[in-house]
Structure 1
Amino acid sequence: MDKSYLSCIQAKILFPSCSSLLKPSILGVFLSATALMLTACGGGGDGGGSLIGGGDSNGWKAGVYQSSDNFGNYCAAPRSGASKITGIPFPDKKGSALQEKNFLRSWSYETYLWFEDLPDVNPSNSDTPQAYFNRLVSDKKTASGSYKDNFHWYESTEEEEAWSAGISYSYGLHIKIKWDAPFSIQVAYVDQYSPAAAKNIKRGAKIIAVDGQSVANASDTKLREWFYPSRINDVHEFEIQDLGTTNTRKVTLESVSLPTAAVSLAKAITHNGSKAAYMQFNTFIPDAQDQWVEAINSLKAAGVSDLILDLRYNGGGYISVAAQVGYMIAGSNTTNKVFYQDVANSKMPKEQPWGFVDTGLYGLNKSLALPTLNLQRVYVLATSGTCSASELVINSLRGIGVSVYLIGDTTCGKPYGFLPQPNCGTTYYTIQFKAINAKGFGEYSDGFIPSTTDNGLDKVKGCTVADDLQHELGDPNEALLAAALQLRATGACPAVASGRQQKLSAEQYTGELMQPETRKLLILDR
């Protein structure tokens, strides 16, 4: 495989950080493996740079943009030393908040997919750089009345680096929030060997209060503080109502640094005389590659003939891993086929399409051939928390003729992507491209929809079934998995499939919220 291709495709499809608890409108997306990677790294010349050509006393002139390189890494509060995650020295130089805002203004104009829609806001205003960035977004709406851009967001660079490295500060507690007031919070799943697992907290349990305060009307600030720790040794008392009980109990959880379980569960299920594989897949991080290799080898040895891929809580990750996942599912069916192609703004050169990846890029399997199930069909379990790279896999497999069946709810709707752009300790995400498959389709901004028929576009043959918190994930009696097994065996959905769940707006939904490593959520919104 061409080495330049391998280096280029090691980009990401990020999703919003749960530790920031961003509303769906800010939620995640995936990134492009393109030449943008070469130009979006920040840096910048030696000049602090002020905009030329008149304007106000700070040099700003509407419609006049210097190169973002003139402002990159000039910081009001420059960091010293090196990243504790990557070990790379900080590139910060002494500058000002105005220079940080000028960087964001120019960089956005250079790379934003809809740069023509950007408001040109005077950077000498009183906004912080982050508040200023929030203004640099299109306010145009689609034909359906939703905002064209629901994925504009930022997070600390340290959080982004930790997530990329598979590091999370967590209790091992992944939650699901129902945003209709009063809020309701339930446990979606718990990581093995985590503080939450040690206290016997299980899927379906309700969280009633934290530190004696009800969660029913908690602020975003409190939810961030309680559920998404940014460090180890963060301690809170949780009042839990376990599934099937009316009593509550109090447990104290202390955050620890946990490795990310991208693949939480992979097993063979004997059903209707044959074996189907079930895999719970939570995030497309580099560590997922080796976890997939181990799982695929185990499932092949078990003699499975189908795969039920549980992406219900997977909000995205690296495109490179998504391309590997596509190969490990479909194998020879991907040979010489297009995985995806990105469409950037009119300033960017057209990129060649990217193929599926059959070689290890990371960890123990770097440069080694990847195993594959060589399947021509796959059953995907989904919710509105299925986003970004997860949707990219669905779209890309359908683009090459692999049959995808969708069980659950409409996905988040994220055909757009970006490269993360660090500057002065904050990493920014602005939409820079749209992803299309081998058939040229990429308009699924309202999500992929389970349907009785497959239109080759946004409607995917499958079953609409509500997420079932009454059973553990991987239990054949759990509603989504049971529906997939029945669809596989009979070609028909359960007689009592639920009606479509409400698709929440950006103001209502933060997503299937999970711990920071999952960052995903989003759902897009998000």
Structure 2
Amino acid sequence: MKKTTLPLILFCCALFTISCSEDRDDVQIVSNLEIKNFIYSAMNIYYLYKPDVPVLANDFFNDQSDPNSYLDPFNTPEDLFEDLLSGQDRFSFITNDYRELEDRFAGVSKDNGLEYRLVRVAPGSSDIVGYVRYIIPNSNAATKEIKRGDAFTKVNGTSLTLTNYIDLLALDTYTLTLADITNDGTTTSIIENGRSVTLTKEEGLIENPILIAKTLTIEGAKIGYLMYNAYTADFDDELNDTFAQFKADGISDLVLDLRYNGGGSVESAVDLTSMITGQFNGEIITKQQWNPELQAAFESNDPEDLLDRFNSTIRTGESINSLNLSRLFIIGTGSTASASELTIIGLKPYIEIKTIGTTTVGKFQASTTLYDSENFGRQNVNPNHFYAIQPLIYTYANANGTVGPATGIVPDFEIAETPSNLGILGDPNEPLLKVAIDQILGRSSATKSSKLENSMEVVGESKMFTPNFQRMYVLDLPNR
């Protein structure tokens, strides 16, 4: 899609700019007003839920003095942004340093490479325990004696609780007290094993979202397995190469493992659907729905810009390696969100989709990064600060008009990961992958998790501390 120019419906933007350009005696106040002006103006134009927020109405301000009287009382830009959000919005956010956000979108971060989930040790308890889901290759954690399935109860000797875990795990360097999680069929036990490991977050860690890609030969069938952990645009060419290898291997089925994939680039999701298929080039994957004013403007200018279609090339111009599959098996969990869910919803009108795991997050809105510039793009950005906002800008339906449920996508075959029996990722006997393989081969298998550890309520996961957690975004806006 093409980059938008400054929208004609600027509403209050010009008004705010005039009021903020006067009285520049106090540099800090002017800077705050510049930031607040940008935030309000961008939300006034692009916010998906604009009709829900009275102060964003075009006629809310009646004269030139009113805007600043609304903006001034907010102590910080963050306070203003929060005041502009709809009650149904769980995902819009603001950042005071868009450089960190851009790095995250590119898969670059300051991290130790430990990917974990946090759970309560018992119902109603404030004590929590973490367990390792995977280790990012080439990270600090990858050089230490810690692996998938290891649990940890303490950080620097302090037991993890609901009130301290954020501060403890935010430290650049910390020592984890390791433990084993076991289950005897009736009771889950967490027992410290005398081991510990010290991890350090390092700048510039790059996470390739393609954690595992392999072809399994089972009972004569060639089954592709792809564990894809983020829709990171910078790795689209490597994703395409992966599908070239699957094609060369002659796979008959694919298991797409999105269990830890919180989303990312919409364009990457569109490309992935085209790699999986190939026989529907040009057909509609999703139809975008913006706020009423923008929807009307975009439809008037070029309705085609609001449609995402199966395509034959990735964004670099390289031809897509398509598998022409007629069915797909997807592993998803409560960590599967946004662009991952778009992949599921978008493909359902065209091929048979079977999902394995647990119910997904239920996040079916896209966002974009809006900067303090004339057209809210990255070019010619205001040099006085690094604030940017990432508001929800549209929701979507698939080709059949189906909108994803806010409660998430319920699996066809329900089975939960259990900390005492995680298995080895990519191994045919790993519990979730085994169910997928059983379905491919027509073998019977248990389709419900044992619920042995259902008392371990989820508190969070490692990526929840990152600015792009469970976000789906577009890099370019439609040209109106």
- Normalised by the length of structure 2, the TM-score is 0.78
Are the aligned partners of 2:177 and 2:192 in contact in 1 as well (CA < 8 Å)?
Answer: no
Partners of 2:160 and 2:89 in 1: CA distance = 30
Partners of 1:157 and 1:500 in 2: CA distance = 43
Map of 1:138 onto structure 2:
86
Which of 99, 103, 124 is the equivalent residue of 2:38?
103
Shift, 1:393, TM fit: 0.8
Partners of 2:192 and 2:429 in 1: CA distance = 23
CA RMSD of aligned residues (A): 3.3
Map of 2:285 onto structure 1:
339
C-alpha spacing 1:68/1:260, structure 2 compared with 1 (3 Å): farther
Query: What percentage of aligned pairs have identical amino acids?
Result: 27
C-alpha spacing 1:219/1:133, structure 2 compared with 1 (3 Å): farther
Map of 1:30 onto structure 2:
none
Are the aligned partners of 2:212 and 2:426 in contact in 1 as well (CA < 8 Å)?
Answer: yes
Map of 2:333 onto structure 1:
383
Partners of 2:19 and 2:245 in 1: CA distance = 47
C-alpha spacing 1:381/1:215, structure 2 compared with 1 (3 Å): same
SS of equivalent residue, structure 1 residue 433: strand
Are the aligned partners of 1:265 and 1:279 in contact in 2 as well (CA < 8 Å)?
Answer: yes
Are the aligned partners of 1:315 and 1:520 in contact in 2 as well (CA < 8 Å)?
Answer: yes
Instruction: Kindly name which structure, 1 or 2, has the bigger radius of gyration based on alpha carbons.
Output: 2
Matches within 5 A, 1:341-490: 341-348=287-294, 349=297, 350=299, 351-352=303-304, 353-361=307-315, 366-399=316-349, 401-423=350-372, 424-450=385-411, 462-469=412-419, 470=421, 471-490=423-442
**1:466-513 residue CA offsets vs partner (Å, 9 max, x unmatched):** 014431211212111111111222275526544699899xxx966543
Map of 2:478 onto structure 1:
none
Partners of 1:264 and 1:196 in 2: CA distance = 15
Partners of 1:345 and 1:251 in 2: CA distance = 50
Map of 2:213 onto structure 1:
266
SS of equivalent residue, structure 1 residue 247: strand
Map of 1:22 onto structure 2:
none
Does structure 1 residue 182 correspond to structure 2 residue 121? no
Partners of 1:72 and 1:510 in 2: CA distance = 45
- Whichever residue aligns with residue 185 of structure 1, its letter is G
- Whichever residue aligns with residue 432 of structure 1, its letter is I
Shift, 1:402, TM fit: 1.2
- Whichever residue aligns with residue 149 of structure 1, its letter is D
Which of 150, 153, 158 is the equivalent residue of 1:205?
150
C-alpha spacing 1:516/1:426, structure 2 compared with 1 (3 Å): same
Matches within 5 A, 1:291-370: 291-332=238-279, 334-348=280-294, 349=297, 350=299, 351-352=303-304, 353-361=307-315, 366-370=316-320
C-alpha spacing 1:392/1:39, structure 2 compared with 1 (3 Å): farther
Map of 2:91 onto structure 1:
151
Map of 1:252 onto structure 2:
198
Partners of 1:119 and 1:212 in 2: CA distance = 50
Are the aligned partners of 1:262 and 1:291 in contact in 2 as well (CA < 8 Å)?
Answer: no
Which of 226, 234, 243 is the equivalent residue of 1:287?
234
Matches within 5 A, 1:78-117: 95-117=30-52
Are the aligned partners of 2:112 and 2:201 in contact in 1 as well (CA < 8 Å)?
Answer: yes
Partners of 2:18 and 2:251 in 1: CA distance = 55
SS of equivalent residue, structure 2 residue 353: strand
Partners of 1:73 and 1:320 in 2: CA distance = 37
SS of equivalent residue, structure 1 residue 347: helix
Shift, 1:392, TM fit: 0.7
Are the aligned partners of 1:384 and 1:511 in contact in 2 as well (CA < 8 Å)?
Answer: no
- Whichever residue aligns with residue 395 of structure 2, its letter is K
- Whichever residue aligns with residue 408 of structure 1, its letter is G
Partners of 2:47 and 2:19 in 1: CA distance = 17
SS of equivalent residue, structure 2 residue 328: strand
Shift, 1:128, TM fit: 0.6
C-alpha spacing 1:73/1:208, structure 2 compared with 1 (3 Å): farther
Partners of 2:459 and 2:317 in 1: CA distance = 38
**1:16-38 residue CA offsets vs partner (Å, 9 max, x unmatched):** xxxxxxxxxxxxxxxxxxx6x55
**1:360-405 residue CA offsets vs partner (Å, 9 max, x unmatched):** 32xxxx3221212111111110001100100111111113x21111
**1:61-80 residue CA offsets vs partner (Å, 9 max, x unmatched):** xxx93448838999xxxxxx
Map of 1:191 onto structure 2:
136
Consecutive unaligned residues in structure 1, runs of 5 or more: 9-34, 45-63, 75-91, 140-147, 227-233, 451-461
Shift, 1:436, TM fit: 1.3
- Normalised by the length of structure 1, the TM-score is 0.72
Partners of 1:398 and 1:388 in 2: CA distance = 16
